[in-house]
Amino acid sequence: MDVSEKAMRKHLPTFACLVAAVTAICVLPSAVETFTLVEFTVYAIMAIFSLSLAFAWGYGGILCFGQAAFFGAGAYAYAIGVLNVGESTVAMLLAVAVPMLLATVLGYFMFFGRISDVYLGVVTLTVTLILYNLANSTSGDQYRIGAAVLGGFNGMPSLPTLNVPGSPGRLLDSVQMFQVCVVCLASVYIGLRALLSAHFGRVVVAVRENELRANLLGYDARKYKLGAFVISGGIAGLAGGLFANWGAFTSPTVFGLAQSAQAIIWVIVGGVGTLLGPVIGCIAIQWLTAYLGTIGWVNPNLVLGLILVLFVLTIPKGLAPILFMPFQWLLRQRSQVGNHEGRIP
Amino acid sequence: MDYVAVIAVEVLNAIATLVLVSIGLAVIFGMMRVINLAHGEFIMLGGYAATMAVKWGIDIWLSMLVVAPLAVGLAGAVLERLVIRHLYGRMLDAMLATWGLSLLLVGLTTAFFGTTTQGVQSPLGATSIGSYSVSLYAAFVITMAAVVCLLLYVLLRHTHFGLRARSVMQNASMAAALGMHPKRTYAVTFALGAALAGLAGGILAPITGVVPTIGVAYVAKAFITVIGGGTSILAGTVAASTVFGTVNQLVSFVATPVIGEVALLAVAMVLIRLLPQGITGRFFRGRI
Q: DSSP per residue over A317-331, as a string?
A: T-SHHHHHHHHHHHH
Classify residue A333: in a domain, yes or no. yes
Which residues of B fall within a CB distance of 8 Å from A318?
none
> Does A87 share its domain with A225?
yes
Cα B97 to Cα B18: distance, rounded to the nearest angstrom: 24
Q: How far is A113 from chain B (nearest CA, A)?
A: 6
Classify residue B132: in a domain, yes or no. yes
Residue A240 confidence class, pLDDT cut points 50, 70, 90: very high
B185 class by beta-carbon count within 10 Å (0-12 exposed, 13-18 middle, 19+ buried): buried
- Sign of the C-alpha dihedral, residues A168, A174, A179, A181? positive
Which residue of chain A has the CA closest to B112?
Answer: A299
Question: Residue A337: is its pLDDT beyond 70?
Answer: no
Question: Residue A344: is its pLDDT beyond 50?
Answer: no
Classify residue B47: in a domain, yes or no. yes
> Does A188 share its domain with A248?
yes
Which residue of B41, B86, B90, B103 to mutate against A (max A Cβ within 10 Å)?
A: B103
Residue A343 confidence class, pLDDT cut points 50, 70, 90: very low
Inter-axis angle of helices B136-158 and B160-170, to 10 degrees? Answer: 80
| Cross-strand pairs, B210 | B118
Classify residue B223: in a domain, yes or no. no
Domain span at residue B69?
A: 2-212
Classify residue B220: in a domain, yes or no. no
> Does A114 share its domain with A180?
yes
Cα B199 to Cα B24: distance, rounded to the nearest angstrom: 9
Contact predicate B27/B152, CB 8 Å: yes
> Cα-flanking dihedrals φ and ψ of residue B13, to 5°?
-65, -45
Q: Per the CB < 8 Å rule, is B103 touching A301? A: yes
Contact predicate A208/A229, CB 8 Å: no
> Does A327 share its domain with A249?
no
Which one is predicted more confidently, A144 or A189? A189
> Does A143 share its domain with A239?
yes
How many domains in chain B?
Answer: 1
Which residues of A fall within a CB distance of 8 Å from B99?
261, 264, 308
Residue A18 confidence class, pLDDT cut points 50, 70, 90: confident
What region, left, alpha or beta, does residue A75 occupy, with left being phi > 0 and alpha being psi -120 to 50 degrees?
Answer: alpha
Classify residue B269: in a domain, yes or no. no
Rg, C-alpha atoms of chain A: 21
- Of the given ranges (A15-24, A112-121, A150-159, B268-277), which has the lowest mean pLDDT? A112-121
Cα A312 to Cα A307: distance, rounded to the nearest angstrom: 9
Cα B218 to Cα B221: distance, rounded to the nearest angstrom: 5
Q: Per the CB < 8 Å rule, is A123 touching B272? A: yes
- pLDDT score at A3: 63
> Does A172 share its domain with A282?
no
Question: Residue B229: is its pLDDT beyond 50?
Answer: yes
Contact predicate A49/A96, CB 8 Å: no
- pLDDT score at A341: 44
Nearest CB partner across the interface for B108, out of A122, A300, A302: A302
Which residues of A fall within a CB distance of 8 Å from B110?
299, 301-302
pLDDT digits (tens, 9 = 90+) for B2-43: 888 888 888 999 999 999 999 999 998 887 788 888 999 999
Residues 6+ apart with CB under 8 A from B206: B64, B119, B120, B121, B122, B123, B137
Q: Which whole number is the average pLDDT over B56-69? A: 90
| Cross-strand pairs, B118 | B210
Classify residue B6: in a domain, yes or no. yes
CA B2 to chain centre: 31
Question: Residue A342: is its pLDDT beyond 50?
Answer: no
Residue A2 confidence class, pLDDT cut points 50, 70, 90: low
Which one is predicted more confidently, A123 or A242? A242
DSSP E strands, B100-257? 126-129, 132-135
How many domains in chain A?
Answer: 2
> Does A202 share its domain with A156?
yes
Helix (H, G, I), strand (E, B) or coil at A156: strand
- pLDDT score at B254: 87
What is residue B56's DSSP assignment? T
Contact predicate B79/A281, CB 8 Å: no
Classify residue A124: in a domain, yes or no. yes
Cα B175 to Cα A281: distance, rounded to the nearest angstrom: 42
pLDDT digits (tens, 9 = 90+) for B120-169: 877 777 777 777 777 888 889 999 999 999 999 999 889 998 988 888 88
Query: Which of A232, A255, A278 is at the close of a domain?
Result: A255
Contact predicate A50/A266, CB 8 Å: yes
Residue A166 confidence class, pLDDT cut points 50, 70, 90: confident
> Does A93 share its domain with A156?
yes
Cα A279 to Cα A260: distance, rounded to the nearest angstrom: 16
Give the closest residue to B231 by CA, choosing from A121, A91, A118: A118
> Cα-flanking dihedrals φ and ψ of residue A164, to 5°?
-65, 125
- Regarding an ipTM greater than 0.85, the answer is no
Give the closest residue to A80 by CA, choosing from A95, A66, A67: A95
Classify residue A310: in a domain, yes or no. yes
Which residues of B fall within a CB distance of 8 Å from A129?
220, 265
Nearest CB partner across the interface for B96, out of A125, A127, A312: A312
Cα B106 to Cα A15: distance, rounded to the nearest angstrom: 43
User: Which residue type, as a one-letter code, is found at position A164?
Assistant: V
Cα B276 to Cα A129: distance, rounded to the nearest angstrom: 20
Residue A46 confidence class, pLDDT cut points 50, 70, 90: very high
Question: Residue B235: is its pLDDT beyond 60?
Answer: yes
Question: What average pLDDT does chain A have?
Answer: 86
Which residue of A53, A106, A299 to mutate against B (max B Cβ within 10 Å)?
A: A299
- pLDDT score at A125: 81
Q: Which H/E stretch holds residue A246? A: helix A221-247
Write the DSSP string, A256-293. SHHHHHHHHHHHHHH-TT-SHHHHHHHHHHHHHHHHHH
Give the closest residue to A191 by CA, choosing from A223, A238, A226, A224: A238
- Sign of the C-alpha dihedral, residues A177, A182, A188, A191? negative
Contact predicate B272/A118, CB 8 Å: no
Question: Residue A92: is its pLDDT beyond 60?
Answer: yes
Which residues of A fall within a CB distance of 8 Å from B223?
122, 125
Residue B284 confidence class, pLDDT cut points 50, 70, 90: confident
Task: Tell me the HSE value of B251 on the side-chain side, using a 13 A CA sphere.
Answer: 17
Cα B228 to Cα B241: distance, rounded to the nearest angstrom: 9
pLDDT digits (tens, 9 = 90+) for B183-194: 888 899 999 999
Question: What average pLDDT does chain B have?
Answer: 87
Residue A165 confidence class, pLDDT cut points 50, 70, 90: confident
Helix (H, G, I), strand (E, B) or coil at A333: helix
Residue A345 confidence class, pLDDT cut points 50, 70, 90: very low
Classify residue B254: in a domain, yes or no. no
- Of the given ranges (A133-137, A173-177, B105-109), which has the lowest mean pLDDT? A133-137
Tell how strand A144-145 and strand B132-135 pair up: unpaired
Contact predicate B58/B226, CB 8 Å: no
Query: Which of A255, A289, A322 is at the close of a domain?
Result: A255
Which residue of chain A has the CA closest to B98?
Answer: A309
- pLDDT score at A304: 83
> Does A136 share its domain with A177?
yes
Rg, C-alpha atoms of chain B: 19
Q: Which whole number is the average pLDDT over A70-87? A: 91
Chain A residues with a Cβ under 8 Å from any Cβ in chain B: 63, 109, 113-115, 117-119, 121-123, 125-127, 129-130, 133-134, 136-137, 257, 261, 264-265, 268, 298-310, 312-313, 316
- pLDDT score at B276: 75
Classify residue B38: in a domain, yes or no. yes
Cα A162 to Cα B38: distance, rounded to the nearest angstrom: 40
- pLDDT score at B245: 92
Q: How far is B111 from chain A (nearest CA, A)?
A: 7
> Does A322 share its domain with A210?
no
Classify residue A35: in a domain, yes or no. no
Classify residue A30: in a domain, yes or no. no
Nearest CB partner across the interface for A309, out of B92, B100, B266: B100
- Sign of the C-alpha dihedral, residues B92, A54, A254, A223? positive
> Does A207 share its domain with A286?
no
Contact predicate B241/B249, CB 8 Å: no
Nearest CB partner across the interface for B224, out of A126, A301, A306: A126
Domain span at residue A183?
A: 55-255
Query: Which of A255, A290, A324 is at the close of a domain?
Result: A255
Which residues of A fall within a CB distance of 8 Å from B108?
299, 302
| Cross-strand pairs, B128 | B133
Question: Residue B201: is its pLDDT beyond 70?
Answer: yes
> Does A77 share its domain with A219?
yes
